[in-house]
Amino acid sequence: MLHNLRNANFYFMVLLDMFIFAVAFYGAYLFRFDFDLPAYATTQFLEILKYSVVIKVSVFFGLGLYRGMWRYTGLRDLWHILEATFLQSLILVTIVLYKFGFGGFSRGVFIIDWMLTVFMISGVRVLIRSFYSYREGNGSNYPPDSCPVAGHNALIIGAGRAGEKVVREIMGSGHLRFAPVGFIDNDPTKRGRTIHGIPVLGSLNDLPNIIENKCINEILIAVAEASGKQMREIIDSCKETGLPYKILPGMDEIINGKVGIKALRDVSYQDLLGRSPVQLDTTRINQYISGKTVLVTGCGGSIGSELVRQVVRFEPARLILVDASEANLYSIQMELHHEMKFHEYVTVLGSVQNSKLLDRTFEEHKPQTVFHAAAYKHVPMVERNPWQAVNNNILGTKKVMTAADKHGVDRFVIVSTDKAVRPTNIMGASKRVTELLMRLFHNSKTTFMAVRFGNVVGSSGSVVPLFRRQIEKGGPITVTHPNVTRYFMSISEAAQLILQAGVMAKGGEIFILEMGMPVKIADMARDLIKLSGKEPDKDIEIVFTGLREGEKLYEELITEGEDIVRTEHEKIMVLKADEKDVVAYATELRSLLQNMGEAANNFDGDQVRALLHDAVAEFDEEG
């Protein structure tokens, strides 16, 4: 308010409102008496006018209606006006009743006064908003020869809900520098229409002509859902213009409140995947997370930390964070505490291989839901240290599952991988055994399940961070093989689908996330080079180094003989239950696990491999 006192527009706003209040009150008397005021009505009007104006201005001050700018009036402001004018009328009637007793006063005057006040106050603000919207929408159309080079005229690609949000926030914010000139959209039915007064000028094919004739300085990509191929076409078209371009974050991030229009950013490889936002059944997820104690192992890793972020959205009573890495555990703790403002957490620094620590943690905190993301996942590293695959991935998982079973955990979700399908390496075989461990707990009251998916963009083991570092150094980019392919999804999408799968299990299922089409790593390298503004094989060389230990050319999400069925969620499938004699198999598996543990303790890699072949019949190191 002190700042307003130094603003000339503030005084204009108050004086204009006072004039409107007086005119509305006088108009109420005129309407009530058919524009022929008797002498006593004129006396009443003059006597009450000062009360009316003072009360109305005071209520507007008290409810903060002079803090905003009329040029950005929205529906929320109109609702506040409705509330304020009703309160004004109520106070005015109360004072008249108290001071004059309502003798000889017409009740209709006060009703008409309220209606006129709402109409006139709102009307003035809408007119001012319309004037500025019209001026901003038309003032940026320059002839080509007078186009300012340093301007901020923006062309928006996408005339859907994301594009509408971009324009609405630009117009509703006084500090965003963009001035929207128009939209382009490939939907022919939108051509010639307007959104908030901004026209749809054409399709992507019209981009060069629009750039030339509409004085565009920057391009904003606001496409809620597009395939990888469509997004590549958009990016290539933007590059050909030579103008800077930015992209709006995914609609899932905007809807979840993570970011807004101010988070416009450069295009990343994740945008080229063309993954549609995940639709979550928040009601069912709330049932097993909200108000519950949730434990996450490997909470500082790529998947584990994103699981923590997603779980916090559903307001658990407490989070138990378990990680063997001090740095990772500290990092997610600080993010929770300072960025997400979530303080109901407990940090447990230790390994899942420590049975006593696990037993104490489960006994003390009594988690109801467990997400087990702790595992060694780097294929060549685990290939060279196979005993760690046994100790951490297999026996460590068994110890966490045993603690969960012992202490009555409701739901236990194992984070698995597509490398468990017909594995050609130690890591994949160990994760397949991890899935099979659920058969040891077939009589448990805990609902165990596994979720299997492919690579995630930006994870610690992903090639994307490596490729970026290589591009920054000027290349070359190293790819193992020209034909190697992988499935990819974003970290947030994987974590959200893991939460969703958690509500579907009845016990022992392996859920498979829909990964879309596999991506050639060589094509990914070329896309990343283009995104950096360089040309593949010209500015940055791509070198093929040969497949690494344990790698195969392509990954699968199901193996031969496995039968998958759809679930109620379009992006989640489930493997049909195995008809094998579970009791007999559990006895056999326990014997194998004991022998694996002994081989691991003796650092006997050959014996570990042999036992993994016994446990996983489809394990084929020849690829």
Q: Give the pair of three-digit tokens for residue 108.
A: 């209709």
Per-residue tokens: 181: 């000139």
Beta-bridge partners for 414: 372, 450
Q: Say whether the peptide bond before residue 476 is cis (omega within 30 degrees of 0).
A: yes
Among 374, 353, 368, 376, residue whose Cα is nearest residue 297: 374
Amino acid at 355: S
Q: Quick count: other Cβ atoms within 10 Å of Cβ 57? A: 18
Return d(Cα 218, Cα 179) in angstroms, integer.
10
At 296, is the secondary structure helix, strand, or coil?
A: strand
DSSP state letters, 529-541: HHHTT--BTTTB-
Contact 110, 93 (CB under 8 A): yes
In this structure, are residues 216 and 183 in contact, taking their beta carbons and an 8 Å threshold?
no
Query: Which phi and psi angles does 543 have, rounded to 5°?
Result: -115, 130
Q: Which residues touch 268 (CB under 8 Å, ≥6 apart)?
A: 247, 531
Whole-angstrom Cα distance, residue 443 to residue 507? Answer: 10
Catalytic residue among 419, 431, 530, 552: 419
Phi, psi of 201 (to 5 degrees): -90, -20
Burial of 40 (0-12, 13-18, 19+ CB in 10 A): exposed
99 is an active site residue: no
* Residues 22/120, Cβ–Cβ less than 8 Å: no
**Is it true that the peptide bond before 277 is cis, omega within 30 degrees of 0?**
no
Q: Is 66 helix (H, G, I), strand (E, B) or coil?
A: coil
Q: 276 vs 135, 410, 490, CA distance in Å?
A: 36, 31, 11
| Count of all residues that appear for the chain in the document | 623
Nearest to 482 by CA among 523, 450, 449: 523
Cα(215)–Cα(340) distance, integer angstroms:
41
The answer to whether 541 touches 477, Cβ cutoff 8 Å, is yes
Of 244, 245, 262, which is closest to residue 253 (Cα–Cα)?
Answer: 262
Could you tell me which residues come within 8 angstroms of residue 354 by beta carbon, excluding any fewer than 6 positions away? Answer: 399
Residue 84 contacts residue 59 (beta carbons within 8 Å)? yes
- Cβ contacts of residue 451 below 8 Å, gap of 6+? 413, 414, 415, 416, 497, 498, 501, 510, 511, 512, 513
SS3 370: strand
Catalytic residues: 419
